[in-house]
Chains A and B, each alone.
Chain A
Amino acid sequence: MFGEKPWDNPHIRTLIGVVHEKAHFPAHQKTRDYLERACRIFGVPTSRASKVLKLVNLTEAADRPIKALSAGMLQKFAIAHALVNSPQLIVADEMTANLDPQARSNLLDLVLQLHKDQNVTYLLSSHILPELSRVCDSVAIMNQGKVWAQGKLADLYNQYAAGTIRISTNKPQELATEIQKLPIVQNCTADIRGIYVKVKTGNENQLYEATPRLATKINAKIYGIETGNSSLEELYKQVVKPQPQNGA
């Protein structure tokens, strides 16, 4: 990280900020008091505490004890704490995991805003994939400790999702078996939600035409056919096919 080994490296820690999945701070401390302590630890002026509280819209909570903050405010406070030393990178591990949808959305808006205003890079680790595509430029898809794919989001969609068609049906396994026999099919997988078919470029129409016929043959119902991957979650499934387990 930054050309140095990160383990137990105090210098690296001056360059990064950390936001944990569940923020733990001394509960009885007041928010500004604790941030001022962090300022002294990093050797920055204590006036920085009020500035970072303002950045995350927590000025009104400056004199509240940390235990009086809501879950969403606590995560904002954790971001303020991570911003104290003006880091180049903020590592956020599942920072929205314990929040309700509205709080999650607000927090990600804040991240976007801070990224734009403060020019800080954020490394977000999350299992909640749909929201990530809203804020991420680049992604690394991980599963079982291995990086399966990484790069710009658009590039990954082009690489893994172009030509992929999703078919919703009541008999995914049986229909997938029939579709696999088509010569235009490059790859075909099925799960409880449907079938994911990748065809050779330019052959999508042939699949559209063949699918109803094959469904009729095995007496299956077609609920819908969609072109391309509509979410990061489906991209994840495309990338991590052999062991589609949790992780991102």
Chain B
Amino acid sequence: MKNEKGRPFLEIFAFAVNEDYRFPILQIFAFLYTLATFVFAYAALDSSIESTGQSATTAYTLASGVLTFPLYIFIVLIFKNIAYGIGNDIDNGIIQIYLAYPIKRSRVLTAKLLSALGISFVTFFGIQLFGLYLLASGIVMPYISTILITYAANLSFPLFIAGVMLLIALILKRGSLAIVVGILLYFALIVISTVLSVLANTTGLWTVMEVLSLLSPNLAVSAYYQSLSPYHTVGWKPGYAEVLAYAGASYAIVAVVFALAYMYFSRRFSS
């Protein structure tokens, strides 16, 4: 039989989407929450313009305001997809089948991650950004860089946790363990970050904030835009270049974690 060129990447991706989003109850809630952008945007817009006028700070307040709730749903979704999409395939041995197909291991993992992270990402933030544009293009367009850095800064930390979960799922071959560790790590780092932030604000030891911003650059972004307010006289005041550096560093850390996962899966993973 003459073999034509197969399309293993597309098929594995399509199958992963089918599996990850097969029972879309969570996704429906998430979608509704994402649509709530419109409601949140109005509320955030009113209060923000009232307090600060139309400025970069307004754009930041608007973006972070509409982002908050959907971000949690997004986190739950990607954690679920990593643990039960990729992790379960490893747990129950289906990954053995994928590894027998004519496709590089790295492309198998890419197809799975595109489904687990990519689809959720596009669904959520595509709708959100579009919603923001429709509602407040007068603010969004002049300050698009503010909007984008706000989103980017909020996403790197969940992506870091997702990368750690992926590594755990691959190395320990336990999806359920990965989600437990992921959730514990997420909340542990949030608590530690909050405590250390309070400590830093009390003592003026801004090095703590700088270190925390490497994992969670949202702290730096938040401090930067708050510092633009005329009412803000004390506290950490990072420059815009610093904010970009923290965001870049945090994504570099995320990239390292995912690169480790790719290397392990490509070179050492054995089902």
Contact = CB atoms under 8 A, between A and B. Distances in A.
Interface of A: 8, 10-11, 13-14, 16-18, 20, 22, 24-26, 37-38, 40-44, 48, 81-82, 85-86
A11 B101 CA distance: 9
Contacts of B12: 41
Contact of B94 (A10, A16, A24, A41): A24
A86 B6 CA distance: 14
Contacts of B100: 13, 16-18, 82
B195 interface: no
B7 A41 contact: yes
B94 A13 contact: no
Contacts of A44: 1, 3-4, 6
Nearest to B100: A18
Interface stretch (B102-110, B115-123, B185-193, B243-251): B102-110
Interface string B133-156: 000000000000000000000000
Interface string B224-247: 000000000000000000000000
A247 B159 CA distance: 44
A126 B104 CA distance: 28
B7 A43 contact: yes
A134 B186 CA distance: 57
B102 A11 contact: yes
B93 interface: yes
A208 to B, nearest CB: 51
Given A13-B102, A48-B1, A42 B6 contact: yes
B97 interface: yes
Nearest to B91: A24
B3 A41 contact: no
A16 B99 CA distance: 12
A81 B94 CA distance: 13
A43 B4 contact: yes
B118 to A, nearest CB: 20
Given A11-B102, A14-B102, A44-B1, A26 B7 contact: no
17 contacts: A11-B102, A13-B100, A13-B101, A14-B102, A20-B96, A24-B92, A25-B94, A40-B6, A41-B8, A41-B11, A41-B102, A43-B3, A43-B6, A44-B6, A48-B1, A85-B3, A86-B3
Contacts of B104: 8, 10
7 closest cross-chain pairs (CB), A and B: A43-B6, A24-B93, A10-B102, A43-B4, A18-B100, A13-B102, A41-B8
B96 A24 contact: yes
Contacts of A10: 8, 101-104
A166 to B, nearest CB: 39
Contacts of B1: 44, 48, 86
Contact of B266 (A8, A16, A20, A38): A8
The binding surface of chain B is classed by DSSP as loop
Contact of B93 (A16, A20, A85): A20
A38 B12 CA distance: 10
A10 B100 CA distance: 8
Contacts of A20: 93, 96
A82 B96 CA distance: 12
A42 B102 CA distance: 7
Contact of B19 (A26, A38, A43): A26
Nearest to B19: A26
Interface in B195-237: none
Contacts of A14: 3, 102
A37 B12 CA distance: 9
Given A20-B96, A24-B92, 18 more contacts: A10-B104, A13-B102, A14-B3, A14-B102, A18-B100, A20-B93, A24-B94, A24-B96, A24-B97, A26-B15, A26-B19, A37-B11, A38-B101, A42-B6, A42-B8, A44-B3, A44-B4, A86-B1
A81 B6 CA distance: 15
Contacts of B92: 24
Contacts of A22: 93
Contacts of A16: 100
Contacts of B103: 10, 13, 41
B11 A40 contact: yes
B266 to A, nearest CB: 6
A23 to B, nearest CB: 8
A37 B94 CA distance: 14
Interface string B4-25: 1111100110010001000000
B20 to A, nearest CB: 12
Nearest to B106: A8
